[in-house]
Amino acid sequence: MPNGSVDVALMNRFGAALAALCLIVVMGCTPADAKTQRNLRLGNSWEFQFEGNPSTGYNWQLDAAASDGLDLVKLESLGYASGKKRPGMVGTPAPFKFRITCIKPGSADLWFEYVGPTGKRARRHEVWVRCD
């Protein structure tokens, strides 16, 4: 096999791998169960966000059944914030925001799901907070 053929085959494989990586980055894919951790003092709040797309009908929701320590925190869903608008682009991604406030000492383990209009669950994210 000529040396040039090997280089072309290698470049084709590299190009396919690079295209797959770009697709993952553009689609905003995250690990199936991502985790965020934070320590807070009692009475203090923390705003956090997950990436989403309001035009798809999907929203981030608390999975109360899978969560622990809900009595230790106050959770507020702030909804979608304005995303970066691009001219002529429909379906611009935007952050979905929550605010958590520590009201009792202890640790809370909260699970959030990205849920579609039909109830389909696309992603999960764990948020762990310790209240001191």
Torsion-angle region of residue 3: left (phi > 0), alpha (psi -120 to 50) or beta?
A: alpha
Burial class (CB in 10 A: 0-12, 13-18, 19+), 73: buried
Owner of token pair 């990586």: 21
Query: If you ran DSSP here, which 8-state letter would residue 10 be given?
Result: H
User: What is the distance between the alpha carbons of residues 94 and 60, in angstroms, rounded to a whole number?
Assistant: 12
Give the per-residue pLDDT at 15: 47
Q: Give SS3 for 78.
A: strand
Q: Are 98 and 74 in contact (CB under 8 A)?
A: no
One-letter identity of residue 39: N
Closest CA to 81 of 66, 97, 67: 97
Q: Can you give the residue ranges of every domain in the chain?
A: 1-30, 33-131
Give the pair of three-digit tokens for residue 55: 């035009």
Give the per-residue pLDDT at 126: 95
Query: If you ran DSSP here, which 8-state letter would residue 116 be given?
Result: -
> Under CATH, to which class is 33-131 assigned?
mainly beta
Each residue's pLDDT tens digit in the chain (132 positions)? 455 555 555 445 544 444 433 333 333 334 445 678 899 999 999 999 999 998 899 999 999 999 999 999 999 999 998 756 665 566 788 999 999 999 999 999 999 999 999 999 999 999 999 999
Owner of token pair 């999907």: 58
